[in-house]
Amino acid sequence: MRYLILEDGSIYAGEGFGSNKETLGEVVFTTGMTGYQEAITDQSYANQILVFTNPLIGNYGITLADYESIEPGIKGVICHQVANHPTNWRMQTTLPKFLDHLGIPGIQGIDTRALVKKIRVHGTLRGKIANSKEDAKKVAQELKTKNITRGTIQQVSTKMPYPVPGSKRNIVVVDFGIKHSILRELSKRDCNCIVLPYTATAEEILSLYPDGVLLSNGPGDPEEMVGATTEMIREVEKRVPLMGICMGHQVFALANGAKTYKMKFGHRGFNHPVREIATGNIGFTAQNHGYAVDKNSIDKDNLMITHVEVNDGTVEGLKHKKYPAFSVQFHPDATPGPHDEDSLFDYFMQMIDQRKNAKRHA
């Protein structure tokens, strides 16, 4: 038996799979019906225990081509059932073997519906995946004092710059915990990318003569980036076109005077409807975030809201009124999920080309 112990003292018993080690994490859930490998390897889940609402996962195995990061920061996986006999012509290993190799514990067989209902009512909870429930009361008390998600961007951001070669446009990517699918979308457009750590300064970025700068997704509290990172953004957005995704969206908002807040249980899944305000068009999006931009804090002299979430009205997109800079809370790269909004990468390319053409004719 293996157990999930929550900070409120509740205990869920199930069967273990993957690694047999014990671990702590913030317990969150995803509504995605597919894409378990991409979710598990998404660094935005760093220091979290992920509950899958889809009752069966692992049925098509694991393949190297679907990694979103090589060393994921996720702490644990919870589901109702893991497929016993996965099959897929692309498959290279099974989900339990994959998790065991990465040192990530999993639990199956618990009532995931009851667990998700608890999170929806009470909000995200800290939890421990344990091999015994003997010290459950002590564990619950300790969990209440733990700050599990602090400093996660520092953990997952690249320590050294690295290139993703291309020949058309020079893009500097600031890595807050990037999904590889973002780089794949830029590569499709033949961009020459240089990925820099989250600590990159405006001087370091501009010394690479970028045609554009992309702020990536990432885990944790965006307000931890207030200071050097927000100062960097304020300087860069004046000089070159800028695009922010997920964490990049939140930090872009903070740099321009807005505030963020922790959501009750966040948006995690691949079926979130988002309305573009200018057109009224609704696209379904992939999302993974536990914080959001406070719409009442937005300085309307600097920023305009471009997208909102249909279900709860949260801010899903921003655009700068003075500079060629914009951001979205969702993932236009999808992977997994709908590709309704991947044209935003094309919009970023157009913004870059217009800027380059204007400079040529100046």
For residue 161, the surrounding DSSP H or E stretch is none
Q: How many CB atoms lie within 10 A of CB 104?
A: 22
Rg (CA), the chain: 20
Residue 333: active-site member: yes
Selecting among 42, 211, 333, 340, the annotated active-site residue is 333
**In the sheet where 162-164 sits, what is the strand order?**
162-164, 191-197, 169-175, 212-215, 242-245, 325-328, 315-320, 303-309, 260-276, 282-293
Selecting among 175, 246, 267, 272, the annotated active-site residue is 246
Residue 190: active-site member: no
Q: Could you tell me the end-to-end alpha-carbon distance of the chain, in angstroms, rounded to an integer?
A: 70
Query: How buried is 256 (Cβ within 10 angstroms: 0-12 exposed, 13-18 middle, 19+ buried)?
Result: buried
Tokens in use for 62?
A: 């694991």
In angstroms, rounded to a whole number, what is the distance separating the alpha carbons of residues 177 and 250? 14
In angstroms, rounded to a whole number, what is the distance separating the alpha carbons of residues 243 and 97? 37
Residue 122: active-site member: no
Q: Would you call 115 helix, strand, or coil by DSSP?
A: helix
Task: Single out the residue of 105, 106, 124 nearest to residue 8, CA to CA.
Answer: 124
Active site residues: 246, 331, 333
